[in-house]
Amino acid sequence: MTDYVLEAELRESTGKAESRRLRKTGKIPAIIYGGDKPDLPIALDFNSTSKLLNEEHFHTSIIEINVSGARGKNSVLLKDSQWDHIYDTPTHLDFFRVNSSDTVHMEVHVVPVNHEACPGIKAGGLLDLVRHSLEVTCRADAIPEHIEVDCANLEIGDTVHIEDIPLPEGVTVVHDVNFTVINLTAPKKAEEPAEGEEAVAETTAETAEASEE
């Protein structure tokens, strides 16, 4: 069972010119690949697909794509998306065929939680999110929307490493080094002027005062 079902058209031709033509007609060019089957170039409705791309769950869910002119249904994961850097709109999507029991590797966002109760932040500390995402390994039907990191007890100077983070059942993050995910750093102090700079400032002020007299 899937949470998303998309209707797509089979693209008869590919290339930059064809992709531009599709986008002008309200379509997003895309491709379905993998699963020991031929690549399948498709076109999706721009408006409905753009809305789904704003949903975090869409990026970690198995999607069913029904392609007109092609046999069968395609169970896929969204693997990559290209965007227009000026208009911030999707220009191309890549989907990878999967079965629900397949083991997959996916990038998921890191989300700090309970930072409003964090004593280090209350003391003026700064939360430094070193890793904005993590590559997880799990079943295709059990990809977490994100990985939460509890910041409720962090003090200034504390560090959260990957091995400190409880992961959902069946989810792993392969790593050789216990890398840093979050730091809680001390607030930056305002730089004090050097002795030479202070002397120059005092001399300038005295000169200004003398000229006013």
Each residue's pLDDT tens digit, 140-185 = 999 999 999 999 999 999 999 999 999 999 999 999 999 999 999 9
Confidence of residue 6 (pLDDT cuts 50, 70, 90): very high
**pLDDT for 64-86, tens place per residue?**
999 987 667 899 999 999 999 99
* Domains of the chain in sequence order: 4-98 (2.40.240.10), 104-185 (2.170.120.20)
For residue 194, is pLDDT > 70? no
Q: What pLDDT score does 134 carry? A: 97
**pLDDT for 18-54, tens place per residue?**
888 999 999 999 999 998 899 999 999 999 999 999 9
SS3 per-residue string spanning the chain: CCCEEEEEEECCCCCHHHHHHHHHCCEEEEEEECCCCCCEEEEEEHHHHHHHHCCHHHHHCCEEEEEECCCCEEEEEEEEEEECCCCCCEEEEEEEECCCCCEEEEEEEEEEECHHHCHHHHCCCEEEECCCEEEEEEEHHHCCCEEEEECCCCCCCCEEEHHHCCCCCCCECCCCCCCEEEEEECCCCCCCCCHHHHHHHHHHHHHHHHHHC
Confidence of residue 15 (pLDDT cuts 50, 70, 90): confident
